[in-house]
Amino acid sequence: MSEKIFPISEAAEYLGVFPLTLRNWEKKGLIRSFRTPGGHRRFKKSELNRIIGNDGVEEELKNTIRKLEGINFKNGRKEKLTKLIMDLKNI
């Protein structure tokens, strides 16, 4: 599966900033883009997620919660696990 690529207008909307802000960030080296043969900026979704701090940690946490939910404990430990899962879901 290939990574989603955004033109500057969609990348700006995804981040909630103006396209000019992205251009300035790129000039300062804060964000990376690449150019099409026609010279248009394109941004990878992973790069945009890096900027907003969404680098896959949330999805990893969801996967961990699913794994925890599948564990069967004895001696009252299930209640502790259930509380832990609820706490994690509220993060």
Which CATH class name applies to 5-52? mainly alpha
pTM of the predicted model as reported, rounded to 2 decimal places: 0.59
Q: What pLDDT sits at residue 63? A: 75
The b-or-e profile of 4-33 (16+ CB within 10 A means b, else e) is: eebebeebbebbeeeeeebeebeeeeebeb
Q: What is the pLDDT of residues 56-84, one digit of tens each?
A: 666 667 777 777 777 777 766 777 777 77
CB 8 within 8 A of CB 40: yes
**Proportion of the chain above pLDDT 70, given as a percent:** 84
Say how far apart CA 12 and CA 43 lie, in whole Å. 10
Domain boundaries, the chain: 5-52, 57-89
Tokens of 76: 């009252």
DSSP 1: -
